[in-house]
A and B are shown apart, each in its own frame.
Chain A
Amino acid sequence: MKLRIDITACDGRGLCAEVVPELVSLDDWGFPIIFADVPAELAEHARLAVRLCPRLALRLER
């Protein structure tokens, strides 16, 4: 499973980095740097990050 972002929709709110810091870090301007490969044990957290993104910028790909 891959965690993907539509960077044009992202506003740098940063919720994703709080929910799955293992997969998302923030750059110096608060925009996410994403480690795309989601290990099985983090799948639930990744789904939560997708659900919580206020800009609907995240999605999961099989």
Chain B
Amino acid sequence: MRPRLLPDGPSKGPTSLPGHLARYGPPAPPARSRRRREELIGEVELAGLAGRGGAGFPTARKLAAVAERRQAVVIGNGTEGEPASAKDKVLLARSPHLVLDGAVAAAELVGAAEAIIVAHPAVADRVVAAAADRRRVRLDRVRLSIVSAAEEFVAGEASAVVRWLERGTPKPKATPRRLSERGLHGRPTLVQNVETLAHLALITRYGAGWFRAVGTDSEPGSMLVTLAGAVKYPGVYEVAIGTAVGEVLDVGGGPSGPLGGLLIGGYFGTWVDPAEAAAVPSSAEGLRALGAGVGAGLIAALPATSCGLTETARIARYLASASAGQCGPCVFGLDAIAGQVERLADGRNPDLARLRRWLGQVGSGRGACKHPDGTVSMIASALRQFGAEADRHVAGWCTGTATSVLPAPTWGRR
């Protein structure tokens, strides 16, 4: 398919405002009446747009929940704390105006006067420049502001983004209240991933029918994917939802050699067998058969020469150290679990029964956010996918010969 969100063809730097308007046409006129807003939210529902930050929640329902309240505010979430993922950064860097259009459209749909884009610091400057270009020609009726995101893994969680804006500490809240009721400074708050906003900008322009022309019936549209690891051309690509996993890899030139595993979704994702996954559609429905999900659109390919357990141990330690430090089971449990996975990776007398018990205790929805659950489910999938290798490690040897491929930066560590 031809890309919808990213520049169509080679491009350097961000698409300029004139270039953007020439490609997509002017933004949809603002919805002034309540009835028109409800119609447009209905159009988003018809389009079947779901959130692209990882949770996949229906966007129309979030819009409707905030639209019935006063003093609302919109937050475009481009934090992208996921170390191996780059799709939100690339989208903000190359198509900043599409995201800003979407933020403005979302604000108009929920009756908000203000939209804030929280952008990864690597690309925040470009978004600031794009917003300045719009202000110069008075394009928007909504006040746009750009804030540089916190560089921590948990910082992208919706309530952590709100707290980052409120207090400068990107920690998830344990509040039982929904952000749509009481979010930023107590105001009704719509937090949407920046890719979701970009799709929204196109739905308000071209309608639900256009949006549904690609993708599957139950999951329409295109999606951005980050291809990382052992593919010929790692990078960010746009594919139709439902494209077979093997074909998605081919968009990035295909595997650069024999593969030992695929990590699908993100660091909270699922390790799967590349041969089993090749024909499976990249959609929530398709990936469910593998026990996996679309997540934030990451597909990381592990070369057959790398040890999946060593890789998992590095990510597990990274995630344990990226805990916000608020909940006991996460602070103590993930640290202990990462220690056991490291023992397994190093063949230092691992205790698999204890590891499994800990995974059960820590991964059962006990945190203020899903950090422990996501970490645990990724590790559990590694034990399934690399089970034979685990047996070898217990016996004292490892088949891996190559170095690691997945990033585990130190900036999440305290």
Main secondary structure of the interface of A (DSSP, over half): loop
Q: How far is the CB of B251 from chain A (nearest CB, A)?
A: 42
**Chain B residue nearest to A34 in the complex (CB):** B366
Hey, which bits of chain A sit against chain B, CB under 8 A? 6-12, 27-31, 33
Residues of chain B contacted by A28 (CB below 8 angstroms) = 333, 336, 357-358, 361
- Given the known interface contacts A7-B329, A8-B327, A11-B328, the answer about A29 and B336 at a Cβ–Cβ threshold of 8 Å is yes
Main secondary structure of the interface of B (DSSP, over half): helix
Number of A-B contacts defined by CB within 8 Å = 41
A7 touches B357 (CB 8 A): no
A33 touches B328 (CB 8 A): no
Question: Can you identify 20 A-B contacts, CB atoms within 8 angstroms?
Answer: A7-B174, A7-B328, A8-B326, A8-B327, A9-B174, A10-B328, A12-B328, A27-B329, A27-B362, A28-B333, A28-B357, A28-B358, A29-B328, A29-B333, A30-B328, A31-B328, A31-B332, A31-B333, A33-B361, A33-B366
Give the CA-CA distance A8 to B366 in the complex, in Å: 10
Residues of chain B contacted by A30 (CB below 8 angstroms) = 328
A7 touches B368 (CB 8 A): yes
Hey, which bits of chain B sit against chain A, CB under 8 A? 174, 326-329, 332-333, 336, 357-358, 361-362, 364, 366-368
Q: How far is the CB of B151 from chain A (nearest CB, A)?
A: 22
Residues of chain A contacted by B336 (CB below 8 angstroms) = 28-29
Enumerate the 5 nearest inter-chain pairs by beta-carbon distance, A residue then B residue, closest first: A29-B332, A31-B328, A27-B361, A8-B326, A8-B174
Q: How far is the CB of A15 from chain B (nearest CB, A)?
A: 15
- Given the known interface contacts A7-B174, A7-B329, the answer about A33 and B368 at a Cβ–Cβ threshold of 8 Å is no
